[in-house]
């Protein structure tokens, strides 16, 4: 067992005024199973890259530890090669038999190593990379969001696999996945980094309890700050009032006053003002100290939504519906039946490739009035959508997001100010607003799509894997919003907690 010691770590990207890490210190053991938790864009992937030695920084990080990182980089040329050829490039010195053993633990036939990488599904690619990753000895592994785009069965296999391993940092926003795989948490807080024993749920329980205590302390500090400010103001006014008595007096009412009193009052006032200034300085120091205690609570701001109400109760009906692409031998969908009525949150449940996205595309094509000859598939059965249905749609793809947020808002007819307000509530920093969206992290791009959807009035919200790359705090914000406003929704999402909390109906595909 070795330790990774991080001492006084400070880092900022070149040309940026904001520090990603500022004088951070902590220690972790290399046999821990660490879950790395934090808001999007706050530095999780940056920290992993610092461990890998990719950036210069001030402070120190323990040397002599071998790190390996998931996912491995895949170039366009690599897609035509097979994993057996690529693994030496990914992990120099890797032994083929060890990879085969890990594949066996993942329930995968070793023939997958000899197929072109482009022919593998997302789940298969993830499993092959993890098998290579864990085939080394004494490496400390940095695993960055392994479950994105994976279906329920693939997640379960990888969850079981990782729960049997140790010696890694796992970046994930899936609460159920983290609970199953980790025994410690590494948390990026508003200020600094916290290390704690336990899984996500135990950390969250401790955090909620600590936040309740902190909020009570904050209330006390705010009241004390208010009293201190009043006291400082009162002392200042006394001194000023006393100073004003130096000049002018009524000899009838103030018979004990004479011109020589002025110098006496002046000296007395000067002494009082000196004491007031000293008192004010002490009060300001105390206020500053107490205000510093108000910084650590991670607030989850309530979001707002204004769904439209349609005059018909049933919005979508699907009866014995099948869909087959024109160049395919087998249909993507076969004899699917369900309906969506207002107020329901319907989740499409099934493995990758079972036709969930194809069904969504077919619904969108009907709403947009596309003729069948324009489509690259044929359908049988019934898929009916009520007339005048307004849909707010989030796709899995973020590659179209480029240019400024202002140009994006204008193009999509969204109020720019409201878009920025909503992104701030989703923990976007103001410095992001002037950047080209192509520079955003995947999580930040997803937040732009979610904010855009929330600002689009609709009868039904259709979201296709909206939570990929979205941080856990934002997931809970979105959960709370959808529970409160109860919009009609059709969703594809593999986050178990999110689905369990929100679904009113599951459609098995």
Query: For the segment 324-368, what is each residue's pLDDT rounded down to a tens digit?
Result: 888 778 888 899 999 999 999 999 998 877 889 889 999 999 888
pLDDT digits (tens, 9 = 90+) for 82-95: 999 999 999 999 99
| pLDDT of 220 over the 80 cut | no
CB atoms within 10 A of CB 75: 9
Question: Which run of H or E residues covers position 491?
Answer: strand 489-492
CA distance 331 to 378: 9
Strand-pair category, 67-70 with 391-394 = unpaired
pLDDT number for residue 339: 96
CA distance 27 to 370: 58
* CA neighbor of 231 nearest in space, from 294, 290, 282: 282
Tokens for 387, please give them: 């007339």
CB atoms within 10 A of CB 317: 16
Strand-pair category, 193-197 with 184-188 = antiparallel
Per the DSSP assignment, residues forming a β-bridge with 172 are: none
The answer to whether the CB of 331 falls within 8 A of the CB of 476 is no
pLDDT digits (tens, 9 = 90+) for 456-472: 999 999 999 999 889 99
| pLDDT of 130 over the 80 cut | yes
**Phi and psi for 227 in degrees, rounded to 5?**
-65, -40
Provide the whole-model pTM: 0.74
**Phi and psi for 327 in degrees, rounded to 5?**
-100, 10
| pLDDT of 79 over the 90 cut | yes
Tokens for 360, please give them: 């969504």
Q: Any idea which residue has 């053991």 for tokens?
A: 29
pLDDT digits (tens, 9 = 90+) for 276-334: 666 667 666 665 665 555 555 556 667 888 899 999 999 999 999 999 888 778 888 89
CB atoms within 10 A of CB 210: 12
CA distance 426 to 476: 11
| Residue 210: band (very low, low, confident or very high) from pLDDT cuts 50, 70, 90 | confident
CA distance 248 to 36: 71
pLDDT number for residue 302: 74
The arithmetic mean of pLDDT across residues 74-78, rounded, is 92
The answer to whether the CB of 138 falls within 8 A of the CB of 66 is yes
| pLDDT of 119 over the 80 cut | yes
Q: Any idea which residue has 């949150």 for tokens?
A: 345
Q: Any idea which residue has 């996912």 for tokens?
A: 71
Query: What is the Cα gyration radius of the chain?
Result: 30
Strand-pair category, 21-29 with 3-11 = antiparallel
Tokens for 420, please give them: 């920025």
Peptide bond into 174 cis (omega under 30): no
pLDDT number for residue 490: 97
CA distance 196 to 218: 23
pLDDT number for residue 393: 96
Terminal C-alpha separation, the chain: 46
Q: Is 227 exposed, middle or buried (0-12, 13-18, 19+ CB in 10 A)?
A: exposed
pLDDT number for residue 383: 93
DSSP state of 192: S
Q: Number of helices (H) and strands (E) in the chain: give both, helices first.
A: 14, 17
Tokens for 213, please give them: 């205590």
Length of the chain: 509
CA distance 47 to 36: 10
pLDDT number for residue 363: 94
pLDDT digits (tens, 9 = 90+) for 237-246: 766 665 555 5
pLDDT number for residue 190: 74
pLDDT number for residue 148: 82
pLDDT number for residue 270: 64
């Amino acid at each position: 067992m070795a330790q990774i010691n991080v001492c006084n770590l400070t880092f900022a990207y070149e040309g940026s005024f904001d520090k990603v890490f500022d004088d951070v210190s902590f220690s972790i053991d290399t046999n821990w199973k660490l879950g790395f938790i934090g808001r999007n864009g706050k530095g999780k992937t940056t920290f992993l890259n610092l461990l890998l030695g990719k950036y210069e920084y001030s402070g120190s990080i323990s040397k002599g530890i071998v790190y390996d990182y998931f996912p491995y980089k895949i170039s366009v040329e690599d897609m035509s090669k097979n994993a057996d050829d690529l693994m030496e490039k990914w992990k120099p010195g890797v032994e083929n038999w060890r990879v085969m053993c890990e594949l066996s633990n993942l329930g995968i036939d070793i023939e997958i190593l000899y197929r072109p990488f482009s022919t593998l599904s997302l789940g298969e690619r993830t499993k092959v990379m993890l098998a290579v990753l864990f085939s080394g000895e004494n490496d400390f592994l940095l695993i960055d969001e392994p479950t994105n785009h994976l279906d329920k069965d693939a997640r379960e296999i990888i969850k079981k696999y990782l729960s049997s391993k140790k010696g890694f940092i796992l970046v994930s926003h899936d609460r159920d996945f983290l609970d199953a795989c980790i025994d410690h948490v590494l948390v990026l807080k508003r200020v600094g980094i916290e290390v704690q024993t336990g899984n996500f749920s135990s950390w969250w329980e401790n955090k909620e309890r600590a936040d309740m205590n902190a909020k009570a302390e904050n209330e006390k500090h705010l009241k004390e700050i208010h009293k201190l400010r009043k006291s400082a103001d009162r002392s200042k006014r006394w001194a000023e009032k006393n100073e004003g008595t130096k000049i002018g007096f009524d000899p009838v009412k103030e018979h004990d006053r004479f011109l020589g009193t002025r110098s006496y009052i002046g000296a007395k006032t000067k002494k009082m003002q000196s004491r007031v200034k000293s008192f004010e300085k002490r009060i300001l120091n105390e206020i500053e100290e107490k205000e510093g205690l108000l910084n650590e609570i991670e607030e989850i701001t309530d979001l707002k939504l204004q769904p439209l109400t349609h005059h018909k109760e049933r919005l979508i009906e699907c009866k014995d519906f099948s869909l087959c692409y024109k160049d395919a031998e087998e249909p993507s969908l076969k004899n699917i039946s369900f309906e969506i009525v207002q107020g329901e949150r319907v989740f499409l449940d099934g493995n990758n490739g079972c036709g969930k996205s194809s069904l969504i595309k077919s619904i969108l094509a009907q709403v947009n009035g596309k003729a069948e000859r324009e489509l690259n598939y044929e359908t049988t059965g019934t898929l009916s959508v009520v007339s005048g249905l307004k849909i707010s749609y989030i796709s899995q793809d973020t590659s179209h997001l480029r240019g400024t947020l202002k140009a994006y808002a204008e193009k999509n007819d969204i109020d720019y100010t409201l878009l920025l307000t909503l992104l701030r509530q989703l923990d976007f920093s103001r410095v992001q607003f002037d950047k080209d969206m192509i520079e955003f992290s995947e999580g930040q791009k997803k937040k732009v799509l979610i904010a855009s959807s929330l600002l689009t009035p609709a009868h039904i919200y259709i979201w296709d894997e909206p939570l990929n790359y979205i941080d856990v705090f934002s997931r809970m914000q979105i959960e709370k919003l959808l529970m409160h406003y109860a919009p009609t929704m059709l969703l594809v999402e593999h986050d178990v907690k999110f689905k369990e909390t929100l679904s009113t109906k599951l459609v098995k595909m």
